[in-house]
Amino acid sequence: MSLANKVLAVNNDLPIRTGAPVHSGKVRSVYWLDAADSARLIRERGYPVAADAPLAIMVISDRISAFECIWRGEGGMAGVPGKGAALNAISNHWFRLFREQGLADSHILEIPHPLVWIVQKARPVMIEAIARQYITGSMWRSYARGEREFCGIRIPDGLQKDQKLPELLITPSTKGILEGIPGVPAQDDVNITRDDILNHYAAFQFRSPADVDRYETLLREGFEVISRELARLDQIFVDTKFEFGYVTNAAGEEQLIYMDEVGTPDSSRIWDGPAWREGQVVENSKESFRQLLLNHFPDPDILLNKDRMPERVALARDNELPASVLLAVSATYVGIAEKITGQPLALPDDPRQEIIDILGTEFGLIS
């Protein structure tokens, strides 16, 4: 079987029995189960949730997005081999450590396939919880232009590109378009301050001001767990994005949990330690793919300038990247997943059919 056939690029058309339209993002698709199937699985599988909790099947694809576009390669390669399995394996590893160390749970109830999670429906907090230990990327570009305040936090003069910051910074942004919050533009991914969140906690879908403190604690603790474990592998945890939400447990109690993914090459920057000590930045994350795109096209401003989004969309639509580029990205993702988990990554041969078979025979969810 060709590599292109091993890639799960389209993940929103599986014959999974649902009770609502499939929600498809840049990488994942979510199949909301109907009430009867949710209740049956909770009963049959013994999930520790309320008997009437809504469940979903979350299927991760091998698509790769960067600069808000989906990119593809020549030869029909519409994604990166092994990328989805790598992201799930890494997230599963960190979520397990978080539970073992008493931080908080996640929305994942079961992992029936390397590309599939069965999850409890969570009520998301509408912020992208970003933590930074080094000054790089968009933050460095703003700093180099003279900005010294980020998300209400004052940054000292004299920092150098890729330098470690004096302390871990929490620099949140909006998740989705939020209307009617004074001082916060109604745009996705807008930087916000801690005061913005505290003063309008309900608008960001926090239940109380105390939960704002709780999310920051979980963000710092989660960052520290991942940073410490990566340091043992001589890797540097540079910055990351977490997401949080609320679920109701079997006792009817509302809990703030980690959701989506954590500590992956898609949501984080991870630098190679030995290269760093030699004065080089070697990315073990999607940032290497972003840099490759910036170098690949003659006018990188198209990728960096949001005012040129129509040109950017056309660039992604009309250009097939060399297969070697996507295979290099595959090596990065698979390599860091195996380093983090300490075991070989199982890559599906025919992911689509495998998912259908498992969800049909073991879970009774295929129409």
- What is the CATH number for 48? 3.30.200.20
Same domain, 110 and 173: no
| DSSP output for 4-44 | HHH-----S---B--SSPPEE-SSEEEEEPPHHHHHHHHHH
Distance CA 29, CA 60 (A): 6
Residue 29 lies in a domain: yes
pLDDT of residue 339: 96
Digit-coded pLDDT (tens) for 284-342: 999 889 989 999 999 999 999 989 999 999 999 999 999 999 999 999 999 999 999 99
pLDDT of residue 179: 86
CB 284 within 8 A of CB 276: no
Domain boundary among the residues 224, 244, 277 is at: 277
- Residue 242's closest CA among 221, 265, 225, 258? 258
Distance CA 70, CA 68 (A): 7
Distance of CA 172 to the CA centre of its chain: 15
Same domain, 54 and 98: yes
pLDDT of residue 137: 87
Same domain, 150 and 107: no
pLDDT of residue 4: 64
Same domain, 167 and 50: no
In three-state secondary structure terms, 269 is: strand
Same domain, 72 and 95: yes
Same domain, 181 and 222: yes
Residue 162 lies in a domain: yes
Residue 270 lies in a domain: yes
Distance CA 151, CA 226 (A): 23
pLDDT of residue 1: 47
**What residues form DSSP beta bridges with 113?**
116
CB 239 within 8 A of CB 133: yes
Q: How many domains does the chain have?
A: 2
Residue 159 lies in a domain: yes
CB 16 within 8 A of CB 359: yes
Residue span of the structural domain in which 268 resides:
123-277
Helix spans in the chain (H): 3-6, 35-45, 83-100, 137-144, 194-199, 209-232, 273-277, 287-296, 301-304, 309-318, 323-341, 351-361
CB 240 within 8 A of CB 268: yes
Residue 269 lies in a domain: yes
Same domain, 94 and 173: no
Residue 102 lies in a domain: yes
Domain boundary among the residues 277, 307, 327 is at: 277
Please give the model's pTM, rounded to 2 decimal places: 0.93
CATH, residue 237: 3.30.470.20
Same domain, 78 and 208: no
Which residues contact residue 233 at a Cβ distance below 8 angstroms, ignoring those fewer than 6 apart? Answer: 339, 340
Ranges under pLDDT 50 in the chain? 1
Same domain, 146 and 267: yes
Distance CA 364, CA 190 (A): 42
Same domain, 104 and 140: no
Distance CA 20, CA 106 (A): 23
For the chain, state the CA radius of gyration: 21
Terminal alpha carbon distance of the chain:
27
Same domain, 18 and 65: yes
Q: How many helices (H) and strands (E) does the chain have?
A: 12, 17
pLDDT of residue 189: 86
Distances (CA, A) of 142 to 113, 147, 151, 167, 178: 41, 6, 12, 18, 24
